[in-house]
Amino acid sequence: MPERRTVALVTLGCARNEVDSEELAGRLEADGWQLVEDAADADVAVVNTCGFVEAAKKDSVDALLEANDLKDHGRTQAVVAVGCMAERYGKELAEALPEADGVLGFDDYADISDRLQTILSGGIHASHTPRDRRKLLPVSPAERQESAVSVALPGHGPADLPEGVAPASGPRAPLRRRLDGTPVASVKLASGCDRRCSFCAIPSFRGSFISRRPSDVLNETRWLAEQGVKEIMLVSENNTSYGKDLGDIRLLESLLPELAEVDGLERVRVSYLQPAEMRPGLIDVLTSTPKVAPYFDLSFQHSAPDVLRAMRRFGDTDRFLELLDTIRSKAPEAGVRSNFIVGFPGESEADLAELERFLNGARLDAIGVFGYSDEEGTEAATYGDKLDEDLVAERLARVSRLAEDLVSQRAEERLGETVRVLVESVDEEEGVYGRAAHQAPETDGQVLLTSGAGLGVGRMVEAKVVGTEGVDLVAEPLTGSLACSEEAGR
C-alpha cells in the first residue's frame, strides 16, 4: 500500500484565513491526504498568506522562504502559496518569488488536491491572473445568492457532504477539518465587502459582500460544538451587513439567539462591526442574549470628521462616544475594541488631537494603532498631501503610547468585577490562562487565574478580578465555580 501524501497548512493573517485553512484541510483529508502540523514533516507545505498591509505581506513572504528552506533539510518537496496575497498578486508573486512551487487563487480551492498532486509530481500549474472579484457578483445584493453558486467563496463550503469528508457527526458535517484542539473556533458569516474605504484593497480581492445562509452557519456551529468547541467567533469583512442580500438586514439579530442555544456551546462572539451600520436592535441582542458576549469590535479607524470623509467613512468623535454610551447603558461591562490609522494623507495636528480626545473618552479595552502607508490600487494611494514618513512614525509612537496607557487604565476599572473565563491553557509552571467575555482570541489580552485546581482547557469559570498586568487581568476563581468545574471534570 503506497504511503499517504502529507500536507501541512501554515496560516497567517486573520481569523477568516484560519477558517479558509480548515476548509482546505477538509478537502485534502477527504481526498486521502494526511495532515501534519509541522511543515518539515510534510510532502507539501501550503502557506495561507495575508495581503492586507505591507507588514503582513512581508510575514507571508518570510513564511514562504522559511518553508522553502525545508526542501534542503526535511521531507518537504514543494511549497505552495494560497490566500489573500496569492489571490491579489498571482503571477506577479510567482515571478517575484520563484521559491514558491505554486501560487493558487481562490478559484483553485475546490480542486486543491489535484493542484497539489500536479505540483508534487513535478508538473506546473499556471499561476492565476488576478481580477477584480467585485465584478463576479451582481451589483444588486438581492441578486447575488443565485449567482454565488458559480463563484469561489472560501469558507462557504457546503454544509452537507458524504460520509468521510469530515469527522463523523451526522448529516451536518461541514467541509472542514479542525487544525488545533483549542476550545475556540471562528465561523464565516459572510465574505467580501461593499464598502469603499479609500485605504482598503480587500474588496478587490475578496469580492462583493455575500452572506452565508443561516442554516449553514447553524449546522457548522453544531458540528463544532460536537468537536468540543465552547466558543465560536462570527467573522467576515463586515458582520453588520449580514442578511442584506438575503432580504433581511436584521437577520443577525434572529440568528444570534439560535446559535446561543446550540448544545455544548458556552459563548458566541461577533467581530468586525461597522459603527455607521450599528442598529438599536443589534445592540439589544448583543447586550442581553445569554451566552452572546457583550463584545463590540467596532471599526472606528479615526474620529476626526475631515479624515473620516477622506477615508470614505462616516461619523465623528461625539457620535462615536454617544454610540459607546448607548452600549454601556445596556451593558456596563461590555468589551469594546477598535483599530485606528494615524498619519493618513492630509491629517493635521488638530485632527490627531481630535483622535486623542476620542480615545481618552472612549474607555476601550483594546486598541490597535497603525501608521498609514499606501496600498496599491486604493484611492488613498492617489491622494496628495502625504505626510512625511518620519512624521507618520512619530504620530504612530505617540498614539501607541497613549493607547497602551488607556487600555491599562480600562483594565484597572475592572478590578472587583466578576468575569466568566474560558480556560484555554493549563501549565504547571506558567499557570492557568483564559479569556473573559470582553477579550477576543489573540487580540485583546487574557486572564491569569490564581488557582487552577480541577480546571481543564474548555472549562468556563466564574472569577473575581483582583489584579491587572497592562491589558491582562488576574482573577480569583469563585469557590462555587471551581466546585462546578471539578464536578464537570469527573
- Higher pLDDT among residues 212 and 489, named by residue: 212
CA 368/CA 350 separation, integer angstroms: 21
CA 250/CA 256 separation, integer angstroms: 11
Mean pLDDT of all residues in 315-330: 98
- pLDDT, residue 488, reads 43
Q: Was 484 annotated as part of a binding site?
A: no
Which letter does DSSP use for residue 173 in this model? -
pLDDT at 486 over 90: no
Q: What is the DSSP string of 98-120?
A: TT-SEE--GGGGGGHHHHHHHHH
pLDDT at 162 over 70: no
Position 402 confidence tier, pLDDT thresholds 50, 70, 90 = very high
What distances in angstroms separate CA 151 from CA 4, 37, 89, 196, 416, one per listed residue? 31, 30, 19, 21, 51
Which burial class, exposed, middle or buried, applies to 416 when counting CB atoms under 10 A from its CB (0-12, 13-18, 19+)? exposed
Mean pLDDT of all residues in 75-88: 89
Q: Which domains does the chain have, with CATH numbers?
A: 6-130 (3.40.50.12160), 171-413 (3.80.30.20), 417-477 (2.40.50.140)
Query: Sign of dihedral through CA atoms 476, 477, 479, 480?
Result: positive
- pLDDT, residue 487, reads 42
**The pairing of beta strand 418-427 with beta strand 431-435:** antiparallel
- The cell 462572539 sits on which residue? 269
CA 224/CA 221 separation, integer angstroms: 5
Report the Cα 140 to chain-centroid distance in Å.
Answer: 26
- pLDDT, residue 173, reads 58
- The cell 489584579 sits on which residue? 467
Mean pLDDT of all residues in 285-309: 98
DSSP, collapsed to helix, strand or coil, labels residue 438 as coil
DSSP, collapsed to helix, strand or coil, labels residue 290 as coil
Position 146 confidence tier, pLDDT thresholds 50, 70, 90 = confident
- Higher pLDDT among residues 454 and 258, named by residue: 258
What distances in angstroms separate CA 35 from CA 27, 65, 69, 220, 402, one per listed residue? 11, 21, 20, 21, 44
Mean pLDDT of all residues in 224-238: 95
Q: What is the pLDDT of residues 379-388, one digit of tens each?
A: 999 999 999 9
Position 158 confidence tier, pLDDT thresholds 50, 70, 90 = low
- pLDDT, residue 481, reads 59
| Contact status, residue 194 vs residue 210, Cβ threshold 8 Å | no
For residue 473, give every residue at least 6 positions away whose Cβ sits within 8 Å of its Cβ, in sequence order, or none.
411, 414, 419, 436, 445, 446, 447, 448, 465, 467
44 phi and psi angles, rounded to 5 deg: -130, 130
Average pLDDT value for the chain? 90
Q: What is the pLDDT of residues 43-70, one digit of tens each?
A: 999 999 987 767 777 888 888 878 777 7
- pLDDT, residue 129, reads 85
| pLDDT over 90 percentage in the chain | 69
Of the spans 13-22, 103-112, 131-140, 311-320, which averages the highest pLDDT?
A: 311-320
Mean pLDDT of all residues in 144-161: 78
Name residue 276's beta-bridge partners: none
- pLDDT, residue 165, reads 46
